Amino acid sequence: MTSAKNRRLALVTGAGRGIGRVIALTLAGRGFSVAVNYHNSATAAEELCGELAASGVDAKAFRADVSRAEDVASLFRAVEDSMGAVQVLVNNAGITRDNLLMRMKTEEWNDVVAANLNSVFYCTKEAIRGMVRARWGRIVSIASVVGLVGNAGQANYSATKAGIIGFTKSVAREYAARGITANVVAPGFIETDMTGILKENVRAAMLGQIPAGRMGSPEDVAGAVAFFASDESEYLTGQVLAVDGGMTMC
Ligand code: NAD
């Protein structure tokens, strides 16, 4: 096993549960130390770090609301002080506040923009300086296929996920010559708490649109993230990889 000292450090936002948790576990399994960001549930994040530490991985939990610039600045200082510079940033934290446009409250728009898009700007800006210094870095942001094709009832969420794609392509262009890649993983319909709240008829309709005939798992998404985090993907930047069982193919 790579010694703790030689492991690269990955910071995963919103890693207390769902896809982020599995991304943290997968990156740890591929030889990374992991900084686990969580917002509300310290218990889940501490349990995850305990599980990783038991298998010899350097993992620590850090509380921060990544929709707030001050929290993100403190998060990076705390991670750097106790674990070192972030070499892989996974922008995973996200929320939904679904509503039809005519009923969508300004608060529902602003909350989703802050949590899903502003967070990506704050975290990437904090991470990029150290990556430039190291002349190596990986930024992987979790968007969604609805950022590519839209979805009724999710104008706010779709706009943020499309925004992540435009942001990533610009960052990719700015830093490609410095050994830093920026890519997007766009999941389709993945089995987590976020989709667990959907009504049965909505789930059935979604399943009917997936050629693979099943919902995705967090592991399906984490595998794509691990690829973008690796040395093998060195010549790929500004890409959007849809992990959706063939749902969109665009
Ligand atoms: P989830 O609700 O299970 O997990 C989201 C995590 O983000 C939670 O741990 C939550 O605490 C954290 N979070 C939210 N706001 C935060 C904030 N301000 N600061 C810090 N952490 C915050 O959802 P999930 O399905 O695991 O989603 C993970 C990512 O994948 C999200 O970006 C989501 O938009 C995206 N995604 C999910 C699906 C799906 O089908 N589940 C599909 C496409 C994209």
Question: Residue 24 C-alpha to ligand 1 middle, in angstroms?
Answer: 13
The residues annotated with a catalytic role in the active site are 157
pTM for this predicted structure: 0.98
What is the rounded CA–CA span in Å between residue 35 and residue 86? 9
Predicted pLDDT of residue 6: 73
Please report where in the chains the tokens 């319909």 appear, as a residue. Answer: 189
Predicted pLDDT of residue 146: 98
Question: Residue 177 C-alpha to ligand 1 middle, in angstroms?
Answer: 31
Predicted pLDDT of residue 1: 45
Predicted pLDDT of residue 2: 55
Task: Count CB neighbours of 46 within 10 A.
Answer: 16
- Pocket residue to mutate for ligand 1, from 11, 12, 17, 19, most atoms within 8 A of Cβ: 19
Predicted pLDDT of residue 194: 86
Burial of 131 (0-12, 13-18, 19+ CB in 10 A): buried
Question: Residue 143 C-alpha to ligand 1 middle, in angstroms?
Answer: 10
Ligand 1 site, residue 147, Cβ cutoff 6 A: no
Q: Which residues of the chain have pLDDT under 50?
A: 1
Predicted pLDDT of residue 4: 61
Query: In this structure, are strands 240-243 and 137-142 parallel, antiparallel, or unpaired?
Result: unpaired
Ligand 1 site, residue 48, Cβ cutoff 6 A: no
Q: Which residues of 13-27 are buried (b: 16+ CB within 10 A; e: fewer)?
A: bbbbbbbbbbbbbbb
